[in-house]
Amino acid sequence: MSQETFALDAVRRDDQGKGASRRLRRAGSIPAIVYGGEEAPVAVTISHNEILKHLEHEAFYSHVLDLSIDGAVTKVILRDLHRHPYKPTILHADFQRVSATQSLRVSVPLHFVNKDTSVGAKSGGVVNVILTEVEVDCTAANLPEFIEVDMKNLDVNESIHLSQIVLPAGVKIHALALGADHDVPVVAIHPSKLDKSIEPEPEA
């Protein structure tokens, strides 16, 4: 668990609708919604540049954030993000209120360690990353920013499945609760197509 923290400033908004949202974006802000818990949903505005800066950090997507709404700090996670189809801009954000003991289902990035120095890679195998993130069940207090997959001993024609990932305490992979059929591979090493042990046939 990293001690890194992310803080965002937000302001309540009463003016809603497409026209109001367009005006916000022209002014350098984006509309957002905060929901969950025992409180009613709250419409807010957030600085576009501020959230864009945070989005450069992978951990922001799977981290409990400090959202200050008119000065009152609320713990939230980013639940949804609407991007412009071709411009590097954010159109809308959804945040969910959380408490430290609340159970969550969140997608967390996978970090593959020892990928280039694995047994299979060193013998010329080709690494095939199948999944880059995994959905986990945990409390907000146990939410990891990422999960490591150690490939050190992975050889050619071998793979690592979900059930083989070493998880942090208090974290479970949701798919594994659905049955053995959902224990899919996350990474594999295949033989190189240019197998030097196979010599070309002589020309006729």
pLDDT at residue 87, as a whole number: 86
Our count of domains for the chain comes to 2
Q: Are residues 93 and 137 in the same domain?
A: no
DSSP letters along 3-51, please? Answer: ----EEEEEE----SHHHHHHHHHTTEEEEEEE-TTSPPEEEEEEHHHH
What's the CATH code of the domain at 165?
2.170.120.20
Cα separation, 98 vs 77, in Å, equals 7
Confirm whether 141 is domain-assigned: yes
pLDDT at residue 112, as a whole number: 98
Q: Are residues 39 and 79 in the same domain?
A: yes
Q: Which domain holds residue 157?
A: 104-190
Name the percent of the chain in helix, strand, coil, to the closest 5.
Answer: 20, 40, 40
Q: Are residues 36 and 73 in the same domain?
A: yes
Cα separation, 83 vs 45, in Å, equals 16
How would you write the pLDDT of the chain (204 residues) with one tens digit per residue? 445 689 999 999 887 767 777 787 888 889 999 999 889 999 999 999 999 999 999 889 989 999 999 999 999 999 999 998 988 889 999 999 999 888 999 999 999 999 999 999 999 999 999 999 999 999 999 999 999 999 999 999 999 999 999 999 999 999 999 999 999 999 999 998 765 554 455 554
pTM for this prediction: 0.81
- Boundary (domain end) residue, out of 98, 126, 147: 98
**Of 39, 71, 65, nearest to 51 (Cα)?**
65
Q: Are residues 91 and 19 in the same domain?
A: yes
pLDDT at residue 25, as a whole number: 80
- On whether the CB atoms of residues 20 and 43 are closer than 8 A, the answer is no
- Boundary (domain end) residue, out of 41, 67, 98: 98
pLDDT at residue 204, as a whole number: 44
Q: Are residues 34 and 67 in the same domain?
A: yes
pLDDT at residue 38, as a whole number: 85
Alpha-helix residue ranges (DSSP H) falling in 28-118: 48-54
Residue 164 carries which side chain, given as an amino acid letter?
Answer: Q
pLDDT at residue 15, as a whole number: 75
Q: Are residues 69 and 139 in the same domain?
A: no
Cα separation, 145 vs 92, in Å, equals 23
pLDDT at residue 84, as a whole number: 87
Q: Are residues 122 and 179 in the same domain?
A: yes
- Boundary (domain end) residue, out of 98, 120, 153: 98
pLDDT at residue 2, as a whole number: 47
CB atoms within 10 A of CB 169: 8
Residue 103 carries which side chain, given as an amino acid letter?
Answer: S
Q: Are residues 64 and 115 in the same domain?
A: no
According to DSSP, the residues that pair with 158 across neighbouring strands are 189
List phi, psi (to 5°) of 58.
-55, -35
